[in-house]
Amino acid sequence: MAEDLHVVQGNKEEQYRSLIPQIKGLLDGEPDLVANLANVAAALKEQFGWFWVGFYLVKGEELVLGPFQGPIACTRIRKNKGVCGTSWAQATTLIVPDVEAFPGHIACSSLSKSEIVVPLIRNNEVKAVLDVDSESLSYFDETDQRYLEEIVALIVI
Question: Which residue of this chain has its Cβ atom nearest to ligand SME in the complex?
Answer: 82
Considering the complex, what minimum distance in angstroms separates the CB of residue 131 from ligand SME?
5
Residue 154: Cβ within 10 Å count: 14
Amino acid 97 reads P
Which residues are near ligand SME by CB under 6 A?
Answer: 52, 73-74, 77, 82-85, 105-106, 108, 112, 115, 131, 133
- DSSP classification of residue 93: -
Nearer to ligand SME (CB atom), residue 22 or residue 126: 126
Nearer to ligand SME (CB atom), residue 22 or residue 121: 121
Considering the complex, what minimum distance in angstroms separates the CB of residue 87 from ligand SME?
8
Nearer to ligand SME (CB atom), residue 16 or residue 68: 68
Considering the complex, what minimum distance in angstroms separates the CB of residue 52 from ligand SME?
5
- Is 55 exposed, middle or buried, given 0-12, 13-18 or 19+ CB atoms closer than 10 A? buried
Query: What whole-number distance in Å separates Cα of residue 4 and Cα of residue 72?
Result: 25
Considering the complex, what minimum distance in angstroms separates the CB of residue 25 from ligand SME?
27
Considering the complex, what minimum distance in angstroms separates the CB of residue 13 from ligand SME?
25
Nearer to ligand SME (CB atom), residue 64 or residue 74: 74
Starting at the edge strand found earlier in the chain, the sheet holding 76-78 runs 76-78, 62-69, 52-59, 125-134, 114-122, 94-96
Nearer to ligand SME (CB atom), residue 131 or residue 144: 131
Query: Largest alpha-carbon pair distance within the chain?
Result: 43
Of 61, 13, 44, the C-alpha closest to 118 is 44
